Amino acid sequence: MQPTQQPIYFDNNATTRVAPEVLDAMLPFLHEQWGNPSSIYGFGRQLAKPIELAREKVAALINAEPREIIFTSGGTESINSALQSALDTNPGKRHLVTTAVEHSATLKFCARLKHKNFEITFLPVTAGGQLDLQLLERAIRPDTAIVSVMSANNETGVLSPIEEIAAICRGKDVLFHTDAVQAPGKVEIDVKQSGVDFLSLSAHKLYAPKGIGMLYVKRGTKYQPYVIGGGQEQGQRGGTENVAGIIGFGRAAELAQAHLHDTHTRIRALRDQLENGILKSIDGVNVNGSRDARLPNTSNLSFKGLEAEGILLSLDEQGICASSGSACTSGSLDPSHVLLAMGCDTARARASIRFSLGIYNTEAEVDFVLQQLPVIIAKLRSQLKSEKTYRSKATA
Ligand code: PLP
């Protein structure tokens, strides 16, 4: 039977529902305290304190100092800002190191830099989606301004050894940024322990609204603002503060600490139940990415012979939201750059879908997917078989 809650949402790496606690914290800043924090009068100025409280909460989530946090419009802006700042504050250095499996916020920014005659090394990954640290070490040059490696891959959930990468970068005296957008509430983040110079987060991945994020800049690291305008954020990021968003982010950061335990126990168990159930009941399914060093909520699976699009549309008909990591261009899904970089062939990359669980998922929802998916796959495979028979008869 279909669970009552609609939709059955297994796409929490794409975005998350705003938690009721987060919405409650935000509402007064939309209804009542809606002033501009930069105003001279008390109605605006009174917002400085709640913003600083939120900054403390976000800082606590990653074990940073509040003054090391710059609020931004989200993960993309934070990533762009960190990379650009590293180049602006190191004018003699024209080389960056990143990986082939980063989010497009990094990849497309690097592609633009390439057009401006910067040199970029895109490091390959193993079949399990992992980075070879020796390759990374060898890729760093005297003119490398920054290394940027994601903490957790959004498509496969594969984790990077951030502490080890930071140590390599420190040893080579090069800045290190990590895109940690997929990490909070799923794995522990401790900037003091890991020693990263820059770290990007986005609030809409942790049950807060879209359009708010933050960039951590380690104290003492030179920083050149990317978005310039007013003197907000101590002159580090121009633009009137998204006050309600910042407050929501602060509340979500508090909740994320509490979610960590649930994600590592209940959510991990649900993910494993889903993944093992699919592997047991459907033939020709493979897990993409290392199953060991992986986010506890993510499962990326390929279904031999099929196209992700057909599976996702059939799941959608049953009210189930999942996704492929691929972009949709001209009505068909491109194969995922992440899976291709892991050595999957185009057919397997096109046949892959991602389930990403969150705190609101239930066992009844997992059971429903396990009931529906084998039927969907069998139907799609039999359609494919009849089409092939028809085509071979037509050409005979
Ligand atoms: N980096 C990763 C790993 C992501 O998953 C995302 C969002 O999908 C981003 C960056 C971009 O974040 P935002 O949507 O806040 O710009």
* Element containing residue 71 per DSSP (H, E): strand 69-72
* Residue position matching structure tokens 């913003």: 51
Distance between CA 374 and CA 364 in Å, rounded?
16
Ligand 1: atom nearest CA of 210 is 15
Q: Is 106 helix (H, G, I), strand (E, B) or coil?
A: helix
- Look at residue 395 in the predicted model and tell me its pLDDT: 72
- Look at residue 149 in the predicted model and tell me its pLDDT: 98
Among 363, 327, 341, 345, smallest CA distance to 286 is for: 345
- Look at residue 1 in the predicted model and tell me its pLDDT: 52
Does 182 contact ligand 1 (Cβ within 6 A)?
A: yes
Does 333 contact ligand 1 (Cβ within 6 A)?
A: no
Per-residue pLDDT tens over the stretch 203-220: 999 999 999 999 999 999
Residue type, 395: T
For 130, the token pair is 């992992």
Going by pLDDT thresholds of 50, 70 and 90, the confidence category of residue 393 is confident
| Nearest residue by C-alpha to atom 9 in ligand 1 | 75
Per-residue pLDDT tens over the stretch 176-191: 999 999 999 999 999 9
User: Cα–Cα distances in Å, from 240 out to 26, 34, 44, 118, 230?
Assistant: 17, 12, 12, 32, 8
Per-residue pLDDT tens over the stretch 217-251: 999 999 999 999 999 999 999 999 999 999 999 99
CA of 75 to the centre of ligand 1 (A): 5
* Contact between 123 and 100 (Cβ < 8 Å): yes
Does 11 contact ligand 1 (Cβ within 6 A)?
A: no
CA of 66 to the centre of ligand 1 (A): 22
Q: Please state the pTM of the whole predicted model.
A: 0.96
Ligand 1 pocket: which of 13, 73, 103 to mutate (most atoms within 8 A of CB): 103
Does 80 contact ligand 1 (Cβ within 6 A)?
A: no
- Look at residue 394 in the predicted model and tell me its pLDDT: 73
| Buried/exposed 307-326: b ≥16 CB within 10 Å, e otherwise | bbbbbbebbeebbbbbbbbb
Chain centre distance of CA 288 = 17
Does 242 contact ligand 1 (Cβ within 6 A)?
A: no
Distance between CA 60 and CA 256 in Å, rounded?
11
Does 325 contact ligand 1 (Cβ within 6 A)?
A: no
C-alpha triplet 191, 118, 79: angle, nearest 5°: 30
For 396, the token pair is 């005979």
Contacts 24+ apart (CB under 8 A), 288-291: 288/129, 288/155, 288/156, 288/339, 288/342, 288/344, 288/348, 288/352, 289/128, 289/129, 289/153, 289/155, 289/156, 289/157, 289/158, 289/342, 290/128, 290/129, 290/130, 290/156, 290/158
* Residue position matching structure tokens 């939120």: 54
Distance between CA 322 and CA 315 in Å, rounded?
8
Does 74 contact ligand 1 (Cβ within 6 A)?
A: yes
| Nearest residue by C-alpha to atom 10 in ligand 1 | 75
Does 105 contact ligand 1 (Cβ within 6 A)?
A: yes
User: Cα–Cα distances in Å, from 249 out to 20, 212, 246, 271, 348?
Assistant: 13, 7, 5, 26, 37
CA of 9 to the centre of ligand 1 (A): 18
Per-residue pLDDT tens over the stretch 99-145: 999 999 999 999 999 999 999 999 999 999 999 999 999 999 999 99
For 329, the token pair is 């261009």
| Nearest residue by C-alpha to atom 5 in ligand 1 | 154
Going by pLDDT thresholds of 50, 70 and 90, the confidence category of residue 382 is very high
Span 309-324, mean pLDDT?
A: 97
For 278, the token pair is 């699919």
Going by pLDDT thresholds of 50, 70 and 90, the confidence category of residue 391 is confident
Per-residue pLDDT tens over the stretch 255-311: 998 889 998 999 999 999 999 999 999 999 999 999 989 999 999 999 999 999 999
- Look at residue 331 in the predicted model and tell me its pLDDT: 57
CA of 182 to the centre of ligand 1 (A): 8
Q: Is 110 a catalytic residue?
A: no
The DSSP bridge pattern shows strands 95-99 and 332-333 to be: unpaired
| Nearest residue by C-alpha to atom 8 in ligand 1 | 14
- Look at residue 325 in the predicted model and tell me its pLDDT: 75
DSSP 210: S
Q: Find the catalytic residue in 110, 169, 321, 328.
A: 328
Per-residue pLDDT tens over the stretch 56-90: 999 999 999 999 999 999 999 999 999 999 999 99
Least confident segment among 37-51, 182-196, 357-371, 378-392:
378-392
Ligand 1: atom nearest CA of 13 is 5
Average pLDDT over all residues of the chain: 95
- Look at residue 3 in the predicted model and tell me its pLDDT: 59
